[in-house]
Chains A and B, each alone.
Chain A
Amino acid sequence: MSTPNPTGSVAGNGLKLGVLLMATPLLLWLVLLVLLPHIDLLMVSLRERISYGKYEFSFVNYIEFFTEPLYWNTYVRTATMSILATALTLLIGFPVAYYIAKVMRGRAKNVLFLLCLIPFWVSELVRTFGWMILLRESGVVSHFLQWAGLVDGPVEMLYNDVTIMVGLVYTSMLFMVVPLVSVLDSLDDSLIEAGYDLGGNAFTVTRDIVIPHAMPGIASGCIVVFMLTLGNYLTPTLLGGKSSLWFTDQIYTQFITRFNWETGSAFGFLLLVLSSFIVWLGLKLSRQTLSDTVG
């Protein structure tokens, strides 16, 4: 121990170099695809168009955001709806995951798991159109309800917040179920049995044993679903119709329709801040750390 070991130090250097080499693609990816675009976004968001091709440093884009209630409302609404969608996905996904991980055995388990994947064999656009075909006034569900005599005339089920929610939850389900299944799968059955044996019932065992164990999976599922929902564009705009009001739609409009990259960038940046803040808050509240969740 006291004398330095030459082979050891060589091995140490080699190891460091190896780690560095392995980390290079990751670093490149981080810098080129994550860091630089965001710095650029920040720069663009901090300038104001003066005239044709002339720009000046200014906070006007952010001021605009805070002074225009429409943007504010859309921002808050998007956040609230995303949180709600995440909660609903968790609420629906948890029993599904529990069923797959703890109740099903053997082949049926894999089959059920694959079933959760099926919606993802088609693109989000196709999936959303699928919902539209089902729910529109002249769509399958409406026809069925009329045929069954439950309603008198055609019913429109598209273009409202409930439909947006359904679409969002459906789209996110897999990203909730996968981490939950893997974390529940790692829960020893005997812990659940011990819970019952010591006098617990379904509710207390779930609350005291299953959920604490599943917490890292819940947190990572929620983070992914929340981010996806917050950043979703197609589902809210297509299913929401005339009142969808989604913040990404605002960003898209600013960039593409208005050619207003400055405001668009500011909005993009604000969305980033929002999602980071809510994820941080969620982790704090659930007493998880990011490393628990990712690991």
Chain B
Amino acid sequence: MADQFDLECRDVVKNFGQFTAVDQVSLTIPQGSFFSILGPSGCGKTTLLRMLAGFLEPSGGDILIKGKSVLGVAPNRRPVNMVFQHLALFPMMNVADNVAYGLRRRGVDRATIKSRVSETLARVGLPDAGPKQINQLSGGQKQRIAIARCLVLEPAVLLLDEPLGALDLKLREHMKVELKQLQHEIGTTFVYITHDQSEALVMSDQVAVMNAGRFEQVGTPQELYYRPQTPFVAGFVGESNRWQGRIETIADGRATIRLQSGGVIYAAADQFGMSGQTVGQEVDVFVRPEAISLERQGQGTTNEPGLNHMQGRVENLLFNGAASSVQLKELATGHDMNVALPQTGAFADIRPGDILDLGWKADQTKCFPAVATKAASQTDEAIA
């Protein structure tokens, strides 16, 4: 039963003195999947990964690889390999020697090493790079060599610690796709750390969102995006407009939320049953920018029941091709909002100062019981 998972953590804890860097983390990663751990800087991602690799011993809990506990097993004896944040290619060796390093350590014979190295180099698309020195490689090539160096060992799990962090944006976008493809081809389990949500969402089969040492939610990218289960996830994954308010009434499958800044937002009532929110409950309210539809002033359908309706004055146009958006100030409450522009170019002519009608369906509103101020400020930080 256990060995359908390549990697399993049970209540793993890591303390540094008083400070708990990783707190009761449990995860199971099925064989051959691309698993990402997404979280803000300092949330404990690297610490967790280093425990998986064996550079740190957990203070509590258990780590299993292929169903066997690896507690107390040294890094060089674990069937996992790591791609380091700055790649850590050996500058004193050429590319082929870098790739061959692990095989040599295993005492594989020369001929096999040679064929395996060239095979692996071909697989990462650099069949001729063998005799090159490390400093003769481009950033993306280094990236691939760092991965090849691990892959040649055919590890059960490949651990990657923000390996794209050092690359420029364009290359990063490119490598994202390439990495995903590579993983797909070879079928090795990847555990990928990042603080960049788009990396996590694009590449992963499963994403764990981590915050302050804990896993907030584990799920597919779609689940995280469309059905966040904590306000942190809602705030951290994807963009959101946020309000704070209190549930005033629940009727007709619809909840009415009175915002602190005045105004009212409707939300589908069915989500409350599950999270146990009731009338009078303080809530955090999230609405995705692309869930909001735009109309020119006065053209919106204002009286459709359950449809949220607001008006905003255009402050800024953020043109970014297909991902363009507009920043507005809501007229009634003065709340800042961010709304995606339709890709049709229908609103290409709006100018700052224009008034627009905004609307979204009640079931696009996500509500969570209000979190304590500390956690709230942390999520704000994360969004910023």
Question: Does a CB–CB distance below 8 Å link A and B in the complex?
Answer: yes
What residues make up the interface of A, taking CB atoms closer than 8 Å to B?
188, 190-191, 193-201, 204, 208-209, 212-213
Binds A, one of B100-108, B206-214, B268-276: B100-108
- The answer, yes or no, to whether B92 is at the interface (CB within 8 Å) is yes
Complex formed: what's the CA distance from A188 to B88 in Å? Answer: 8
Minimum CB–CB distance from B299 to chain A (whole Å) comes to 58
> Residues 33-55 of chain B: 1 if any A CB is under 8 Å from the residue's CB, otherwise 0?
00000000000000000000111
Closest to A192 in B: B88
Q: Give the residue of A191, A193, A199 whose beta carbon is less than 8 angstroms from that of B105.
A: A199
Interface of A is mostly: helix
Complex formed: what's the CA distance from A175 to B76 in Å? Answer: 34
Closest to B106 in A: A199
With A190-B86, A213-B92 known as contacts, the answer to whether A197 contacts B106 (CB < 8 A) is no
Binds A, one of B77-85, B167-175, B362-370: B77-85
Complex formed: what's the CA distance from A212 to B86 in Å? Answer: 20
- B82-A188 in contact (CB<8A): no
Q: Give the residue of B82, B85, B89, B93 whose beta carbon is less than 8 angstroms from that of A197.
A: B82
- B92-A209 in contact (CB<8A): yes
What residues make up the interface of B, taking CB atoms closer than 8 Å to A?
53-55, 74-76, 81-82, 84-86, 88-93, 101-102, 105-106, 149-150, 153
CB neighbours (8 Å) of B76 from chain A are: 196-201
- B101-A198 in contact (CB<8A): yes
18 A-B residue pairings within 8 Å (CB atoms): A191-B88, A193-B53, A193-B55, A193-B82, A194-B82, A194-B84, A194-B89, A194-B90, A196-B55, A197-B55, A197-B76, A198-B76, A198-B105, A199-B153, A201-B76, A208-B92, A213-B91, A213-B92
Q: Give the residue of B88, B92, B102, B153 whose beta carbon is less than 8 angstroms from that of A193.
A: B88
With A193-B55, A208-B101, A209-B92 known as contacts, the answer to whether A198 contacts B86 (CB < 8 A) is no
Complex formed: what's the CA distance from A213 to B76 in Å? Answer: 21
- B75-A196 in contact (CB<8A): yes
Interface of B is mostly: loop
Complex formed: what's the CA distance from A212 to B134 in Å? Answer: 15
7 pairs of A and B residues whose beta carbons are closest in the complex: A199-B105, A198-B102, A212-B92, A194-B88, A190-B88, A190-B84, A196-B75
The interface centre, meaning the residue of A191, A198, A200 with most chain B CB atoms within 10 A of its CB, is A198
- A198-B149 in contact (CB<8A): yes
The interface centre, meaning the residue of B88, B93, B101 with most chain A CB atoms within 10 A of its CB, is B88
Closest to B80 in A: A197
Minimum CB–CB distance from A187 to chain B (whole Å) comes to 10
Closest to A210 in B: B92
A199-B153, A208-B92 given; 14 more Cβ-contact pairs under 8 Å: A188-B88, A190-B85, A190-B88, A193-B82, A193-B88, A194-B82, A195-B101, A197-B55, A197-B81, A198-B102, A198-B150, A198-B153, A199-B76, A208-B101
CB neighbours (8 Å) of A194 from chain B are: 82, 84, 88-90
Minimum CB–CB distance from B83 to chain A (whole Å) comes to 9
With A198-B150, A199-B76, A209-B90 known as contacts, the answer to whether A193 contacts B101 (CB < 8 A) is no
Complex formed: what's the CA distance from A213 to B89 in Å? Answer: 12
Complex formed: what's the CA distance from A213 to B134 in Å? Answer: 14
Complex formed: what's the CA distance from A199 to B105 in Å? Answer: 6
Minimum CB–CB distance from A193 to chain B (whole Å) comes to 6
Complex formed: what's the CA distance from A196 to B54 in Å? Answer: 10
Minimum CB–CB distance from B192 to chain A (whole Å) comes to 16
Complex formed: what's the CA distance from A199 to B54 in Å? Answer: 12
CB neighbours (8 Å) of B82 from chain A are: 193-194, 197
Complex formed: what's the CA distance from A206 to B215 in Å? Answer: 37
CB neighbours (8 Å) of A212 from chain B are: 92
CB neighbours (8 Å) of B89 from chain A are: 194
Complex formed: what's the CA distance from A190 to B74 in Å? Answer: 16
- B88-A200 in contact (CB<8A): no
CB neighbours (8 Å) of B88 from chain A are: 188, 190-191, 193-194
- B81-A191 in contact (CB<8A): no
CB neighbours (8 Å) of B84 from chain A are: 190, 193-194
Closest to A201 in B: B76
Q: Give the residue of B54, B55, B91, B105 whose beta carbon is less than 8 angstroms from that of A200.
A: B105
